[in-house]
Amino acid sequence: MNCNKLNGFLLTFFTMLSAHMAIAQQKVTAYLPDASDIALNYQQASKIDTALRNLPTNNDITPFWKKDGTAFWYKKNLPSRNWTYMYVDAISAKKQEAFDNRKVAAALETVSGKKQNPERLQFEVLYFSEQNQNATLKKDNEWYTLDLNTYQIKETNDTVVFNYNAKKPLQQRKSRWQGVRDQKKSPDGKYDLIIRGGNILVLDVTTRLETQLSFDGNAEHPYGSYTWSPDGKNIIAYKTFPKETKKVHYVLSSVAGTTRGQLKSREYAQPGDEFTSYEPYIFNVEAKKSIKVDTDPVDFFGPQELHWRVNNNQYYTFEKADRGHQRFRVIEVDVQTGKTRNVIDEKSKTFIYENRIYTRYLTKTNEMLYTSEQDGWQHLYLVNTITGKQQLITKGNWVVREIDSVDVAKRQVWFRASGMNKDEDPYFIHYYRIGFDGKNLINLTPEKGNHSLTFSPDRKYYIDTYSQVNIPAVSKLKITGNTHTVTEFERASADPYLEVGVKLPEVFVAKARDGITDIWGIVCQPSKLDPNKTYPVIEYIYAGPQDSFVPKSFLPASEMQSMAELGFIVVQMDGMGTANRSKAFHDVCWKNLADAGFPDRILWIKAMARKYPNADISRVGIYGTSAGGQNSTGALLFHPEFYKAAVSACGCHDNRIDKQWWNEQWMGYPVGPHYDEQSNITNAAKLEGNLFLIVGEADENVPPESTYRLADALIKANKDFDILSIPGMGHSDGGVYGRRRKRDFFVRHLLNATPPNPNAVLSK
């Protein structure tokens, strides 16, 4: 190459390099708005919020079926917060408006004498006749019949209608906190059970003779929580060793009409508190003898429901979860001897998520269905209750989320799961059915997205509504037997949302701390993002291990997007330690709530900034409520090199102050030094950055003193912080006022700008 060409090449190269450097220089210019810019941003956020509230979403279709299952109606949302009623014929697949709203409104005005808005007709009950000639409706507590041909409306006394709620869960999990209901009368009606002086007696209802069965009970240790065997020959009762549940208190400072604060007190068990315990006994009525059951006292959850073998009154089983959540048993008792054996005995070195355990007893076949994470994922098992042998029904690196129903005759389970489809978000919920033998798995919802499914009364049809966080909902009517689509009766478009100027959330995935596991989250950006500016990042956090929290269904409007309009990039993700992934993913939280998935979150935000160069991760804020309040304060205490500002509402800042059942599930029992080591209050002196605490004085979920004790520790450590205590408010992020103050806080500390002053006197 000659010198001229070389010089030309170098000139071109350096010109291009200078241009790229200039562009790069532009791209790293921080967005630092002045007061007028901020005022416009607040107006823009309010304008978009209002516009989005007036746009309809139909993410949640609630069908109301006719009794014969041939048709259903639903309420469809329309623009400007209006609605109409749609009618779908399952046989013909025809969809139409259920009636002429204006004619119905006019007829109602005539018969009721009350003005009606035809675009917002609201009925307490609406039911269409089998021939679809008439409708029965209840409005303003009055019943009417509507002739759908003539639109004549008459008052009626015939209020018998078929009211099938398709949205009601098919298989509700019974909380073990509920215990069992005492059964006073024997199944054969011969005896009434009496508790007197702490002892058990039976009254012969024919002879009125009383027989005392126990003699060691008293006021301090009474017998109670009793039930009968199916044949009425035995009573299972528990000798009780009561422990008083300690109380917490708060003061209502601003009750109208008073001049003094009002003290409120309530029972509230905290980690480590003593619980009432129960020793089970068997009382044989005829022999007048008692046998103590050969098992540990029940010291957690209280006595549970008994499950008797069919046509065999010698054996019953009950469930026992040990305090500390590391052992779960299904125990069988021989009522003749009191001897026991474990049908299921599951132990864990970390925790068993007891609230997610599903059990269903199939007494006719001496079997039970049971969910467990013992193989590393939440799956469903078939257990032989005689031998204890377990057979895995579902298997794979995915999670059974919920059991919807069980068809005992066909030996099928209908369930929800996530993570089975490798090419999509592992949190998307899909619906399936499978045989007890683990064969013939059917996916009822194969389309990509997060699904919600309901059935017709006879289960011949089902309605599947699905969407993604940035893809509007689709609703289909399908045939249960073959999953074929009858009709797609709703499909929303994103265009109306984009036309108002909003940017829909974007899904972003990055690797966790192990470099292998995917962490899923969303990114909300300002609708008027300047490509030559960089914007502070705000994370919305809730790292409670009881669930996962990133939205999965269509989300055009949210507080995150509204905050983004002020000049932020707002993100949310589920880090390790949250639920609905593998057991190993979840186990990160064990005795480790201060971790809150921060190593994953920080890596995720850094990776996000590489994809979105407008994200300025030298200015990162974080906010959250409840456990999220604990997490957001923890960000400044344990990761101040990354997080610079935090807003924490009603945080459980010390896990010893919060409720027993939630904290012992994840932090373990007994209470050890790790509780103290991970406390925000203990670590208050580590505070760096800007902290804003919000608390409602009437919080009955997390005691308000959790926040006040943190404030006390910060004061003693000579730390600056802001605090807002809201009179009369319960467990909340502060409501409308608190949310406005939160935005103002981030504007001041991340944008270095002055938010609009609501105290300013407006000039006339």
The proportion of the chain whose per-residue pLDDT surpasses 70, expressed as a percent, equals 94
23-45 pLDDT per residue, tens: 444 557 999 999 999 999 999 99
- What pLDDT score was predicted for residue 172? 56
**pTM as predicted:** 0.93
- What pLDDT score was predicted for residue 761? 72
Which of 69-73, 158-162, 597-601, 674-678 is predicted least confidently?
Answer: 158-162
Position 679 pLDDT exceeds 60: yes
269-321 pLDDT per residue, tens: 999 999 999 999 999 999 999 999 999 999 999 999 999 999 999 999 999 99
- What pLDDT score was predicted for residue 181? 81
Position 238 pLDDT exceeds 50: yes
Taking a C-beta distance cutoff of 8 angstroms, is the pair 450, 59 a contact?
A: no
Whole-Å CA distances, 335 to 173, 212, 308, 309, 679: 28, 19, 11, 12, 48
- What pLDDT score was predicted for residue 132? 81
Minimal CA–CA distance to 477: which of 450, 493, 455? 455
- What pLDDT score was predicted for residue 174? 66
Position 15 pLDDT exceeds 50: no
Minimal CA–CA distance to 589: which of 581, 597, 601? 597
Beta-strand pair 64-65/71-78: antiparallel
- What pLDDT score was predicted for residue 180? 76
- What pLDDT score was predicted for residue 19? 40
User: Which parts of 408-505 are beta strand (E)?
Assistant: 412-418, 430-435, 442-443, 450-455, 461-468, 471-479, 485-491
Taking a C-beta distance cutoff of 8 angstroms, is the pair 334, 255 a contact?
A: no
Taking a C-beta distance cutoff of 8 angstroms, is the pair 697, 728 a contact?
A: yes
Q: What is the largest CA-CA distance in the chain?
A: 124
CATH number of 497-750: 3.40.50.1820
Angle (deg, nearest 10), helices 627-638 and 598-611: 80
- What pLDDT score was predicted for residue 753? 97
Minimal CA–CA distance to 750: which of 569, 619, 584? 619
Strand order in the sheet with 442-443: 399-407, 412-418, 430-435, 442-443
The proportion of the chain whose per-residue pLDDT surpasses 90, expressed as a percent, equals 91
Position 140 pLDDT exceeds 90: yes
For residues 359-379, give the mean pLDDT: 97
Residue 608 parent element (H or E):
helix 598-611
Position 21 pLDDT exceeds 80: no
- What pLDDT score was predicted for residue 163? 79
Whole-Å CA distances, 698 to 266, 328, 542, 727: 12, 36, 22, 7
User: Which parts of 315-398 are beta strand (E)?
Assistant: 315-321, 327-334, 340-347, 359-362, 367-372, 379-384, 390-392
Q: Confidence class of residue 169 from pLDDT cuts 50, 70 and 90?
A: low
Q: Confidence class of residue 130 from pLDDT cuts 50, 70 and 90?
A: confident
- What pLDDT score was predicted for residue 478? 98
Position 8 pLDDT exceeds 70: no
Whole-number mean pLDDT of the chain? Answer: 94
For residues 340-356, give the mean pLDDT: 97
Which of 178-187, 189-198, 540-549, 591-600 is predicted least confidently?
Answer: 178-187
Q: Confidence class of residue 762 from pLDDT cuts 50, 70 and 90?
A: low
606-639 pLDDT per residue, tens: 999 999 999 999 999 999 999 999 999 999 999 9
**CA count, 13 A, side-chain hemisphere, 577:** 26
What end-to-end distance do the CA atoms of the chain give, in Å? 75
692-721 pLDDT per residue, tens: 999 999 999 999 999 999 999 999 999 999
- What pLDDT score was predicted for residue 91? 96
- Rounded-to-integer distance, Cα 630 and Cα 680, Å: 7
Q: Which of 155-159, 171-175, 520-524 has the highest mean pLDDT?
A: 520-524
Beta carbons within 10 angstroms of residue 136's beta carbon:
20
- What pLDDT score was predicted for residue 16? 43
DSSP assignment letter at 170: S
Q: Confidence class of residue 139 from pLDDT cuts 50, 70 and 90?
A: very high
CA–CA–CA angle 750, 755, 758 (5° rounding): 150
**CA count, 13 A, side-chain hemisphere, 54:** 9
- What pLDDT score was predicted for residue 11? 45
Query: Across the strands, what pairs with 13?
Result: none
**Where do the structural domains in the chain lie, given as residue ranges?**
64-155, 497-750
For residues 50-64, give the mean pLDDT: 93
Taking a C-beta distance cutoff of 8 angstroms, is the pair 90, 461 a contact?
A: yes
